[in-house]
Amino acid sequence: MSARPIRPIRSTRSTRSIRSLAALTTAAALTVGAAGCSNPESGASGGQGEGESAVVGIAYEPESLSPLLGFGKDGNSKIFDGLLALDGDMALKPALAAALPEVSEDGLTYTYKLRQGVKFSDGKPFSAKDVVFTYRTILDAKTNNASKSELDAIKDIRATGDGTVVFTLKYPYAPFAQRTVLPIAPEHIAAKQDVNTGPFTTKPIGTGPYTLTGWSKGEKISFKANPSYWGGEPKVKKFTMAIIKDDDVRATRLRAGDLDGAILPPNLAEGFKSDKAKKTHAAKTYDYRTVTLPGGNKVAKDQAVRQALDIAVDRQTMVDQILEGAGKPAYGPVPTGSEWFTEGTERTHDLERAKKILDDAGWKPGKDGIRAKDGVRAEFPLWYLSGDRLRQDHALAYASDAKKAGISIKTQAGTWEVIQPRMKTDAVLAGGGAPGDPDFDQYLLLTSSLAGDGFNNMAWYDNPVVDKALEKGRESGKKAERKAAYDTVQRELVKNPGYTFLTHIDHLYVVDDSWDGLTTQIEPHDHGLASGPWWNVEDWTPKGTKK
């Protein structure tokens, strides 16, 4: 209403009442508003020195902060520790365990001695019962943990005394120790609540280097250093992860100084090259882009077509043009340079040979240049996730390379809701990759029995030799036998490439040059909170301080 007082000449009852009513409504609205201004997530702040606070921008937000629901299952969870942890070279080191586990001769029993004197950030001691509780809860059918199949091998877990935990496996699972980087939850808190919806899922307590000070969903997650951390109090006292899904907004906020670091796509990271105060960190990854050639498609399942596409595609140009050099050609799930990569399985771009393979197999070019065999035209659709520029670029480049060999590929954008029902017959530009053990990714990607199981084996790949090698690699405890098994898989993928692997993508992070000790691990496809140079922010040292 008008700010000026209205001086009535001939007052009527109604206007007066309206005025007071409106004033009342406004006042009420303001009061409710003010009452809502309590801070649900207060935390300490205070005079902090240069470099003692870090704010980074990330693109993905965890669904939950409870390890029981899958948070931090691959380590670097900040709030929690696992029994083991991965160091900068992806080697296992003890964390809540005092040493690496003792593995029985048959590979079925893993015994962990626990670190003594560790306390949760609420002051209660950590013990073997917390470990048993964590694993048993995750495996419970009532727990909504989508990653629990990673622990399928576990038959039983027991505590023998306060200081020892023994895992018994159903079958010898060679990479099991790597699964135990999974964070440990406190039984005394989490056991008293509903595992799926209790407050622990958003306000967790752990043994880790940081404690949570606030999680404003869709906006940011803030941490402060745990002063009583068993590994020593971190020097970066305050750490905030801002969740910014849009790449451009993230880059702008980094430039504006609102962020100290951020993950950026190659074209935006390029813009910070001349900035002397910032450094770009390129993390090597297992993150591949691949095209599924589904076993349910008459053209794509043809071995000659698969082989031809595999060499008709110009991977190096994709790396140079699409990734601006930040990546490398991919010939299989394992990146070149990894100890698990099979030398000699690199493919060279050879369009002429691709054409010859198709000619020999009876795929003859028609009038429009598209080949056909027995009345079947060499064409199939290729789906990519709508809105994903990188996948779109890969899909278009792939279709254009295929066209040169006489195979017509129609690219189409869609959401997973649209794509998933079509995966049996239509090709998909997919992404994936998990570092560490080759079993993690390859078993799910290539095992024939997992065809059509959720998003596993999206190409319905079916190769008995590969199936056998994957089992062998999974169960054998001997490194040499395992290496031989995964060599077999990679060689089979040359003979029968049910997926055309295109590139392994570097993840680029631009960070203020205010800290020492920044490194990157080898990163998986899903690079959320745990990846980036801040994987070990607890070890950062602000520049200019004594080490």
Q: Which residues within the stretch 12-51 sit at the binding site for other proteins (CB under 8 A)?
A: 13-18, 20-22, 25-26, 29-30, 32-45
Residues between 113 and 132 with contacts to other proteins, criterion CB under 8 A: none
**CA distances in angstroms from 98 to 60, 146, 336, listed in the order given:** 33, 29, 34
The residue within the footprint of other proteins, chosen from 294, 333, 381, 528 (CB under 8 A), is 528
- Helix, strand, coil % in the chain, rounded to nearest 5: 30, 20, 50
- Does 289 bind other proteins (CB under 8 A)? Our answer is no
Which residue, 20 or 317, has its beta carbon nearer to other proteins? 20
Q: Are 245 and 387 in contact (CB under 8 A)?
A: no
Residue 248 or 513: the one with the smaller Cβ distance to other proteins is 248
Of the listed pieces 8-16, 115-123, 336-344, 352-360, which binds other proteins according to CB under 8 A?
8-16
Residues 254-283 that bind other proteins (CB under 8 A): 256, 258-259
Can residue 474 be called a binding residue for other proteins (CB under 8 A)?
A: no
**Shortest spacing between CB 15 and other proteins, in angstroms:** 6
- Nearest to 380, CA basis, from 448, 315, 428, 414: 428
Shorter beta-carbon distance to other proteins: residue 155 or 478? 155
Choosing from 136, 253, 347, 349, the residue that interacts with other proteins (CB under 8 A) is 253
Q: For other proteins, which residue of 455, 472, 491, 496 counts as binding (CB under 8 A)? A: 455
Task: Choose between 7 and 367: whose C-beta lies nearer to other proteins.
Answer: 7
Count of helices and strands (H, E) across the chain:
14, 24
Binds other proteins (CB under 8 A): choice among 91, 249, 376, 465: 249
From 61-69, 112-120, 362-370, 473-481, span contacting other proteins (CB under 8 A): 61-69
497-532: buried (b, 16+ CB within 10 Å) or exposed (e) per residue? bbbbbbbbbbbbbbbbebbeebebbbbbbebbbbbb
Member of 9, 105, 367, 375 binding other proteins (CB under 8 A)? 9
* Coil, helix or strand at residue 35: helix
What's the min distance (Å) between Cβ of 193 and other proteins? 11
Helix (H) or strand (E) holding 85: strand 84-86
- 441, burial (CB in 10 Å: exposed 0-12, middle 13-18, buried 19+): buried
Cβ-Cβ contacts under 8 Å for 367 (sequence gap 6 or more): none
The distance in angstroms from the start CA to the end CA of the chain is 63
Cα-trace Rg, the chain:
28
Does 82 sit near other proteins (CB under 8 A)? no
| Residue among 252 and 336 whose Cβ is closer to other proteins | 252
Is 448 a binder of other proteins (CB under 8 A)?
no
Could you say whether residue 63 binds other proteins (CB under 8 A)? yes
Minimum distance, C-beta of residue 428 to other proteins, in the bound complex (Å): 12
Task: Work out the angle between the directed axes of helices 303-312 and 479-495 (0-180°, nearest 10).
Answer: 100
Contacts (CB under 8 A) with other proteins, residues 322-381? none
Examine residue 193 and tell whether it contacts other proteins (CB under 8 A): no
Whether 286 contacts 527, CB under 8 Å? no
Whether 488 and 498 have beta carbons less than 8 Å apart is answered as no
Q: Are 510 and 19 in contact (CB under 8 A)?
A: no
Interaction of residue 385 with other proteins, rule CB under 8 A? no
Q: Beta strands of 115-260 (E only): which ranges?
A: 154-159, 164-169, 210-216, 220-225, 238-243
Instruction: List, in order, residues 6 or more apart from 108 with CB less than 8 Å away.
Output: 168, 169, 171, 172
Q: List the one residue from 106, 142, 367, 464 that touches other proteins (CB under 8 A).
A: 142
Return the number of the residue (259 or 427) whose C-beta is nearest other proteins: 259
Least Å from the CB of residue 132 to other proteins: 22
Q: CB of residue 53 vs other proteins: minimum separation in angstroms?
A: 6
CB of 47 to other proteins, least distance (A): 13
Residue 425 contacts other proteins per CB under 8 A: no
Residue from 178, 222, 292, 342 binding other proteins (CB under 8 A):
222
Least distance CB 362 / other proteins (angstroms): 37
Q: How far is CA 304 from CA 111, 301, 359, 490, in A?
A: 49, 9, 9, 18
- Binding track, positions 143-182, relative to other proteins; x by CB under 8 A: -xxxxxx---------------------------------
E runs forming strands in 30-72: 53-58
Spell out, one character per residue from 197 to 216, where the chain touches other proteins: x when CB under 8 A holds, - when not.
x-x-xx----------xx-x
C-alpha span between 332 and 508 (Å, rounded) = 22
